[in-house]
Amino acid sequence: MLAAMSAQRLHLTLLLPLLAVFVTLAGCGLKITRVQTAADKPSNVAVYFKVEDQSGEPVGGMTAEQFEIYEDGELVSVYESQQTILNPEVAASHYTLLLVDMSGSVADSDDFEKVSEAATLFTSEVEKNNKVAIYAFDGEAEIHKVTDFTGSAGGAQARANSLSGFSPKDPSTNLNGAIVQGLEVLDEGLEKAENPLRIGTLVVFTDGTDRASRVPESEMLDAVNSTPYEVFAIGLGAELSEKDLQKIGKSGTALAKDSSEIQAAFETIGERIEQLTQSYYLLSYCSPARAGEHTVTIKGKHTPEGKKSETTGTLETEFDAEGFDKGCDPNQKPKFDITKGDMVADQPEGKTKAKAKASAKASAG
């Protein structure tokens, strides 16, 4: 079995030179949660954050013009700040693991082909903004790799076809063990990610409950509830109830009562993941500060589709402007330093976990 890893998982590294303050302020209908802040010479400041509405639904599609930037309470003009939204891929890695039940009840059923097709379509959609891996599980102790994490266009989709040739070695269902291992695979994948901001999602497809009893349900639930990753569950058939799925899918569920609903269930979760991914923003600007420590307030404004009233929200963070000067380019890639920041100290094997990531993830539930 994959080596057990600490419950406190590596996700983010923190930033240069930063007094990393994690503050989410309640606005009027809009919630902006800071994930991380970077400050670098000549006078660049970048803030990575997530935007949700008052119901916790992700808000995507916002532009730089919908945010106002204040330093120490004073508005920084757009002319001076040159503020822009950078492609989050320059700083953040989004990984999604699709864990597919290939026990005998699926692999030997008439639904097998539809499950494989739906998984293929799912990966083709999600890999647009995520690196996607596919693993299968049956009754064996180990989960089976179908494809490793890839972000290449069509990569995961092409190899997802391997599911159609999968043959279970044990017809039982090691659901609990597979979920625990799936979270470990996400850990290991994200540790190799290029970017210091690392966000993971586990999607579990199953047509039933655990039958192998290799891992207690309590251990699986502890792993799901303690991870800062998003965890979604897709179910198939009358054996499963919405309550069963919700134990696993803390971030969302989709239940297909029969084979005709399988593709729609996968599409529902795929769309949700895309919405979540697009609700993250990397706002970069040029600071007028030239020395000292400063508080940044970012105010977002958004008018929901079909609504007339504007919703707002704010966040605060701090940075040190020591050595700042002219010559700023807001399109400069933020620099991240894994040796500095608001780290949780004394992690096993030198691992570090950012408190900001854990807090940001918890707010999304």
Closest Cα to residue 179, out of 125, 226, 116? 226
Q: How far apart are CA 279 and CA 4, in angstroms?
A: 32
Does residue 150 contact residue 156 with C-beta atoms inside 8 Å? Answer: yes
DSSP for 183-217, please give it: HHHHHHHHHT-SSSEEEEEEEEEESS---S-SS-H
CA geometry: angle at 75 spanning 72 and 81, to 5°?
Answer: 105
Strand pairing report for 67-71 and 23-25: unpaired
Q: How far apart are CA 102 and CA 74, in angstroms?
A: 58
pLDDT means over runs of 10, the chain (365 residues): 40 30 54 93 96 93 97 97 92 93 86 88 88 94 92 62 81 96 96 87 94 97 96 91 92 93 95 93 97 98 89 96 97 69 29 28 29
SS3 of residue 284 by DSSP: strand
Q: How far apart are CA 28 and CA 152, in angstroms?
A: 40
Sheet strands side by side (includes 252-256): 144-150, 131-137, 92-101, 197-206, 230-236, 252-256
Element (H, E) at 165: none
Q: Where are the domains of the chain?
A: 23-90+289-362, 92-277
Using N-to-C axis directions, what is the helix angle for 217-226 and 175-191, rounded to 10°? 30
CATH fold for domain 92-277:
Rossmann fold (3.40.50)
Residue 154 has a pLDDT of 59
